[in-house]
Amino acid sequence: MQALSKGRYTVRLASTPQDVRAAQALRWKGFLSRKHGVGVTSQDARLDADGFDPICQHVLVEDAQSGRLVSCFRLLPLRDGSEIGRSYSAQYYDLSALRGFDLPMVEMGRFCIDPECQDPDILRLAWGAVTRFVDETGVGMLFGCSSFTGTDWTHYSDSLALLAARHLAPAEWAPREAAPSVVRYSERLAAHMPDAKTAQQRMPPLLRTYLLMGGWVSDHAVVDPALDTFHVFTGLEIAAIPPARARALRLVAG
């Protein structure tokens, strides 16, 4: 993926171990500082790192003037659905239904925006970079785990009820349960009438964007106490993106 610049931000692939370490530090700040607090003194302890980092491509969004890292995520390309078991998501979901997907796939994970940076252009440019990667590599499906902050799923009842009512995975691709701690929200909230405004306000921005493009989710959520989150599997078939939305993304990617 070639570097992409729009306005005050630049997106590029990590090219050095120092780049990856900067991404891991930002991920710690975004995912783990809330849980562990500021009392941690070991610099190594302030990194969010795992065994998937060495096999992924890491994408960095930086302030063009200061060089400050404001967002990051990682991409794991797969030849097709036969490689779905290599993905991070496969640790938590039974994705055997996706083994028959016969186009290239890419998993987007550990998406993080610096909590001190709230500019919506950051997310917009990140999606432009993903669009460029998808177009360059012929990806047919983008997928990953979309996380909610905290493990109290009831706080997000309206958001989850909306997912259950409108955005569940098609039967042919639907993930099944594999994790030890799951919330069957589509069953538990079947009678819940969501407040649309609250549902949208509490929906993670990344997931909200997936849904605007025609994305779908698992019918259950997985609780991840290590990151103090819970997440739903999210898939997006590229061919299903509405044409107007696809044109808007490619304008940013261009």
- pLDDT of 74-87, one tens digit each? 999 999 999 999 99
How many domains would you assign to the chain? 1
CATH code for the domain in which residue 240 is found: 3.40.630.30
Parent domain of 236: 4-253
Contact 123, 113 (CB under 8 A): yes
Contact 119, 96 (CB under 8 A): no
Per-residue pLDDT, 32: 85
Q: Is the pLDDT of residue 133 over 70?
A: yes
pTM: 0.93
Residues 6+ positions from 146 with CB-CB distance below 8 Å: 204, 206, 207, 210, 217, 231, 232, 233, 234
| Burial class, 68, CB count within 10 angstroms (exposed 0-12 / middle 13-18 / buried 19+) | middle
Per-residue pLDDT, 179: 96
Give kind and range of the element (H or E) at residue 108: strand 105-113
Question: pLDDT-based confidence at 42, cuts 50/70/90?
Answer: very low
Q: Is the pLDDT of residue 151 over 90?
A: yes
Q: Is the pLDDT of residue 31 over 90?
A: no
Length of the chain: 254
Per-residue pLDDT, 6: 81
The rounded distance, in Å, linking the Cα atoms of 232 and 189 is: 15
Question: pLDDT-based confidence at 36, cuts 50/70/90?
Answer: low
DSSP string, 221-246: EEEETTTTEEEEEEEEEGGGS-HHHH
Tokens of 158: 């309206």
Of the chain, the percentage scoring pLDDT greater than 70 comes to 95
Per-residue pLDDT, 2: 76
